[in-house]
Chain A
């Protein structure tokens, strides 16, 4: 299991991973930087602090599971998996190229350590619930984390899962909504408003924790709080900034699905020194 790190060390790690993300999408010349950058702290806190896992034993039955349901954000997961030692770091820049393990969306055929093949939005929560039920059946104490996009939760299947989770008292799952307020065609409020979002999850029977999704200590304590809640599922509504860390990408819908040019990569890397 990766050794414990201080919040400051995790913060520094986040900066390094943001550089990896910008570099790899730049090299690929296509991909989704905005939603990868918004989820860096969430994934770093999970993989380097909260989750029980062992990069030397990716098939460990008692490992905690993390599903990136918003699969297009996968560069952040690749950066994390490589940093943790699951996959080769020097191959990150082969993202999206023929033969690369780093496929455009998470693909279990290429990286077995991925818990699910995603990319069609809306499916991760249901898959995670199945894993959480299996844990309960087998008396295992592993926990399951599902990262959802805010646009993604417009999918009806998410709410079918939400209803199921509360009804079946699935308390070994945590959903995290990366609430960066931008989807593909523009701002969430202009496409299909989600508010009042916390009330929606509460209405579906979930324990809701709202927080700043870039605040590592806040994420840590939110995950601890979720673990202590029994008899109902927990959701973190993580307020984030799409494109976080790169000024010209922040809050800019253009960088949902546009790769940075070589010049933009250079600029971004300077900002991420």
Chain B
């Protein structure tokens, strides 16, 4: 059953801020929670935790690879270690350490949280933009990969991640994003949320593209196209059941992500679809390029990540069915 059929999207806090708040709250409840950051605590909002629990916060300096190793050691010795930086630095500079020191020994108490994901960071430009983090994280055997859409989902998923029996990567963003969920919405890692029912096409979205998918659905509805909207907050393990059902029941899927289309959610969904109910698919994401400096709004427009682009992909998918 879908949650609601009409949405009023109000802007909420950035998912990075929701992460920082959730982390501080966890810290109050559980003394095993420790946090590492690499000279970005004001930007990642781990500063909220650091202020309350200075003894359990480790400032690692601008040295992400070392930080991941330290987090791995903490997680190996009874702590629940949240390790945070901009997603691009955490995942790219820390990748080898995530692979060998975390994924390989399956350190379930290790939680990597990347902020400033995607291109919606805006003016700082590509060196600070993380457009390959989902692909990298999903390539780590045993990792659980989360990509919350709003503050409600972030708060719930950070909490779930802390006690999830696997190493986790959580992808968060810099920009304030619309609130998609009502307070109290429950989330289960690995279970997609069907936000809107629909039968002609299914839009599978993650992160800030969920709100764009909801807006696209409204446009499509007015045109007589019935679009289902699913929030794929867990990129790994994927909700195979929900995806296969959407493919079987609608015969047309659109995947929308603020990530390179190569190696992101889309290819993973295609893999599930190919093995269950092959159907028409369209992919909304960043096409084999690095972005540039501009406002977040201008970049989402230029790189084709707006509701307009999701709606167009849905029309195309529906058209290709015939």
Contact = CB atoms under 8 A, between A and B. Distances in A.
Interaction A to B = yes
Interface of A: 28, 30-31, 71, 96-100, 103-105, 107, 110, 117-122, 151-152, 154-156, 183-185, 191-192
Bin the interface of chain B by size.
Answer: 20 to 34
B85 to A, nearest CB: 11
Given A98-B298, A184-B42, A185-B40, A192 B127 contact: no
Contact of B65 (A156, A183, A192): A156
A120 B125 contact: no
A152 B62 contact: yes
Contacts of B127: 71, 105, 117-120
A97 B292 CA distance: 9
A30 B59 contact: no
A98 B63 CA distance: 31
A120 B92 contact: yes
Contacts of B125: 96, 103-105, 107, 119
A31 B292 CA distance: 15
B54 to A, nearest CB: 12
B293 A100 contact: yes
Nearest to B290: A109
Contact of A185 (B39, B123, B124, B293): B39
A104 B66 contact: no
A121 B62 contact: yes
6 contacts: A96-B123, A119-B127, A119-B128, A120-B127, A185-B42, A192-B60
Contacts of B62: 121-122, 151-152, 154-155, 183-184, 192
B76 interface: no
Contacts of B225: none
Contacts of A99: 294
B292 A98 contact: yes
A100 B66 CA distance: 36
Interface in B118-146: 122-128
A155 B40 CA distance: 14
A151 B39 contact: yes
B295 interface: yes
B37 to A, nearest CB: 8
B162 interface: no
A120 B89 contact: yes
Contacts of B124: 30, 104-105, 119
Contacts of A119: 124-128
B224 to A, nearest CB: 35
Interface of B: 39-43, 47, 59-63, 65-66, 88-89, 92-93, 122-128, 292-295, 298-299, 302
- What are the 8 closest A-B residue pairs judged by CB atoms, nearest first? A119-B127, A192-B61, A98-B294, A154-B61, A104-B125, A104-B293, A96-B123, A154-B62
A154 B40 CA distance: 14
A154 B42 CA distance: 18
A103 B292 contact: yes
Contacts of B61: 151, 154, 183, 191-192
A154 B63 contact: yes
Contacts of B294: 96-99
A103 B293 CA distance: 6
Nearest to B61: A192
Contacts of A118: 127
A104 B123 contact: yes
B236 to A, nearest CB: 25
Contact of A156 (B43, B59, B66): B66
Contacts of B122: 30
Contacts of A154: 39, 61-63
A191 B292 CA distance: 30
Contacts of A96: 123, 125, 293-294
B65 A185 contact: no
Among B125, B126, B299, the most chain A Cβ lie within 10 Å of the Cβ of: B125
A184 B124 CA distance: 15
A170 B295 CA distance: 42
Given A107-B125, A151-B62, A183-B62, A98 B295 contact: yes
Nearest to B295: A98
A192 B302 contact: no
A155 B39 CA distance: 11
Nearest to A71: B127
Given A154-B61, A185-B41, 14 more contacts: A97-B293, A98-B292, A98-B298, A98-B299, A104-B125, A104-B128, A107-B125, A154-B39, A183-B39, A183-B61, A184-B62, A185-B39, A185-B47, A191-B59
Contacts of B40: 184-185
A121 B61 CA distance: 12
Contacts of A28: 123
A152 B89 CA distance: 13
Nearest to B124: A104
A185 B58 CA distance: 13
